Structure 1
Amino acid sequence: MKKIALLGAGFIASVHMEAWKNIEGAKVVAFFEVNNVKASEFQKKYSLPHYNSLSQLFSEQEVDAVDICLPTFLHREYTEMAALEKKHVFCEKPIALSLEDAFAMQKVCEDNGVFLMIGHVLRFWGEYVKARELVASGAIGQPILINAFRLSVTPVWSVNSWILKSHLSGGASLDLHIHDLDFVNWLAGNPQEVFARGLFREDSLDHVVTTVKYGNGVVASIEGGWMMQGDFPFTCGFRILGSEGVLEWTFRAGVNIEERAQSSPLFLYRRGEQRKLVEVAAEDPYREELAYFLKCIEKDTPPGLGTPEQAIEALRLALAAKSSVIEGERVLLEEL
């Protein structure tokens, strides 16, 4: 039985906690949270020992790994604290706000012999996984053009609205848009060139359209933002055009991702054939990614999904897109 310390008590921490409850071989033994209101609510719901000091948690609890569900600006600090205590680290995306912090997180985990996995959950989300499998199998021929999107209303759930402050979250371009940047990287390989346009609110890039050119000739147009109005539902999806076919999926949920268990059809279109509905397993992607992390620990095998290298590449792309919006020019990834 691997013992987990959950860091954070907000929305995504609750999502992770529900997932951990359904993973055999793991047990959340305690949680860390400095906000007393959040801590009280979380403790009442899950009846876990609470700590507002991570060092005290480590001194009083036997822990194999930490699950970091803290605001992005805290990722480096708490990854370093955990790694120095020889704890494996699962950390929510994005890995960090800067490449400097991301590389530091990678290094401290390597130096202390612990795994670092970043929660790029689309690598475990049924429709995205199936799309990659189909593309790899040649179901649509050679990929040519990828469209991906993720749109929501402005999030209101964060304590003191930290997620709306660019210096704490990176804005929608890092917190939301990065999901699809990582997904397209997963499909198309290493990005070479970026051109983006977007909308700022104060200093926060909260809606962006990013065009990416890949070395294999694939072009991607990726849109993301949280400036939608009214009761606009959380909406995401993709369209992948290949030389012999098209994959298309669109998902509309609640305000956030509460209704992620509902199904939306994934369609495959091929030249000369009728549209095909692709079957996708209905699994909770958050449970899938955490179960994968646990298996890596149990087998002492470094994660191959959500790696620091993959997370750093997604962050590099997000930062390049922001730079392109600000400068009004294309950005070559090799220059960052």
Structure 2
Amino acid sequence: MKSVRFGVVGSGYFGGELARTLHRLEGSRVVAVHGGSRAALLAEELHCETIESLEDLVQRDDIDAIIVASPSHAHKEPVMLAAKHGKHVFCEKPIALTLTDCEEMVKACKLAGVVFMAGHIMHFMNGVNQVKAWIASGEIGRPLVCHAERTGWEDKQASVSWKKNNATSGGHLFHHIHELDFLQAIMGPAVSVCMAGGNLAHQGESFGDEEDVLLLTLVFADSTLGTMQYGSGFRWGEHFVKINGTEGAILLDLKHSKVELNQNGRITSRYLNDSAEEDMERARSYQNVDGAVAYGTAASKMPSWLAALIEKEMSAFRDAVNGIPVGESVQMLFDGTAATTSIATAEAAMTSLREKKWISL
């Protein structure tokens, strides 16, 4: 296998861990890091260079691919520059904060003939792939209605992260776009959406300006339905996806780390992650904080279950750069489908919130 040489944009919680994963992954090497207050520390840890200029990073001949893990509002520039200079691109979610930007980014990579991968890491979960397999094999019949919740409560913060402001993160719906992406991977793209919500309890200097309650209703192409709840204004936090079909139902419970298939009361259970140990570690994390709305910092330790997912994700990107065919279960991450479909629906939902009406896609 040819060794792939990487440049990393962003040195925060995810950017740092993506870089560390690539540093230890066979067939990959981190050449340089750009951006963020911890870039120099990360470069020292990985024995690579710090590059002050983004343009200098993407023009280097000893870099094959760029990892974009900067704050969400700053994704477009490095993606476009990387494509312009023939570098393969991995971009963290959400790919962009507008559909126009997202489509331009995907198109630029296609025209440049470089690999583009959307960082929707949920597709690498054991439990998510089990859900897809159950549905594909007809275990619940035809999916009819789905419901997802990603909710919790946020207390006052000593400092306000960029993740808490709509202009930089897009708010809960964009920053936590995984569930919206997953529902559409199962049910198909939404054809219309309506969303209500607002910032009900988190105003003031200790909070950002994102809405703390978001309630969505989705209609899919075959008239099937979905509902979703997002936000940090819920004292009773939850984190799950339920899919009900004509012959059974599925629960993907991310808070309690379990995946269950219900067929007329007969329950079949599978791991959410790769082992009982990883599932227990994830479940424990929700006992102290509302994990559905919590977020890591650059100094936070990455849990093993999440580190394992990142390794799968980076392995898939490295392999794609090396020309190894992409598996069907993650094809949507490489052809632009996951990126554009999720952003299109999120943008339409925010328009619905502002205009107080149903929006067609």
Normalising by the smaller structure, the TM-score range is 0.7 to 0.9
| 2:268 aligned with 1:268 | no
SS of the residue 1:145 aligns to: strand
CA RMSD of aligned residues (A): 2.6
Do the aligned partners of residues 79 and 265 (structure 1) sit closer, same or farther apart at CA in structure 2, a change above 3 Å counting? same
Spell out, residue by residue over 1:235-280, the C-alpha distance to the aligned partner (whole angstroms, 9 max, x if none).
Answer: 522111111111113223xxxxxxxxxx722111101x52221245
**Correspondence 1:194 to 2:198:** no
Q: Percent sequence identity over matched residues?
A: 25
Normalized per residue, the structure richer in strand is: 1
Alpha-carbon distance in structure 2 between the residues aligned to 1:95 and 1:15: 18
Which residue of structure 1 lines up, in the alignment, with residue 226 of structure 2?
220
- Aligned equivalents of 2:14 and 2:44: distance in 1? 17
Tell me, in whole angstroms, the C-alpha distance in 2 between the residues paired with 1:104 and 1:325: 25
Which residue matches 1:260?
Answer: none
Task: Confirm or deny: 8 A CA contact 2:125 2:272 kept in the other structure.
Answer: no
**Which structure 2 residue ranges, 5 or more long, are not aligned?**
204-208, 275-304
Shifted more, 157-166 versus 140-149: the winner is 157-166
- Alpha-carbon separation, structure 2, partners of 1:96 and 1:290: 20
Q: Which range moved further: 43-52 or 185-194?
A: 43-52
* TM-score w.r.t. length of structure 2: 0.80
> What is the count of residue pairs matched by the alignment?
316
Structure 1 residue ranges without an equivalent (≥5):
253-262
Match of 1:27 in 2: 29
Corresponding letter in the other structure for 1:122? M
In 1, Cα distance between the equivalents of 2:193 and 2:135? 23
State how far apart, in whole Å, the 2-side matches of 1:163 and 1:43 are: 24
Secondary structure in structure 2 of the residue aligned to 1:204? coil
Deviations 1:105-129 (A, max 9, x none): 1222122111211111112122122
Asked if structure 2 preserves the Cα contact closer than 8 Å seen for 1:12 and 1:69, the reply is yes
Indicate the larger mover: 67-76 or 146-155: 146-155
**Scaled by the length of structure 1, what TM-score is found?**
0.85
In the alignment, what sits opposite 2:111?
111
Question: How far apart are the structure 2 equivalents of 1:240 and 1:88?
Answer: 35
Residue 39 of structure 1, CA deviation: 2.0
State the secondary structure of the residue aligned to 2:357: coil
Measured in 2, the distance between the counterparts of 1:332 and 1:209 equals 17
More moved, 50-59 vs 72-81: 50-59
Contact 1:32–1:50 (CA under 8 A) maintained in structure 2: yes
Distance apart, 1:155 and its partner CA: 9.7
- With over 3 angstroms needed to count, the CA separation of the structure-2 counterparts of 1:180 and 1:156, relative to structure 1, is farther
Compared CA separation, residues 295 and 21, structure 1 to 2 (3 A): same
Distance, in Å, in 1 between the alignment partners of 2:338 and 2:124 is 14
Q: Find out whether 1:205 has 2:211 as its counterpart.
A: yes
* Deviation readout 1:15-68 (Å, 9 max, x if unpaired): 3134324532112222111x4x42243234433321121233345561110110
Q: Distance in 1 between matches of 2:322 and 2:135?
A: 31
Q: Residues 113 and 102 (structure 1 numbering): CA distance in 2 closer, same or farther, change over 3 Å?
A: same
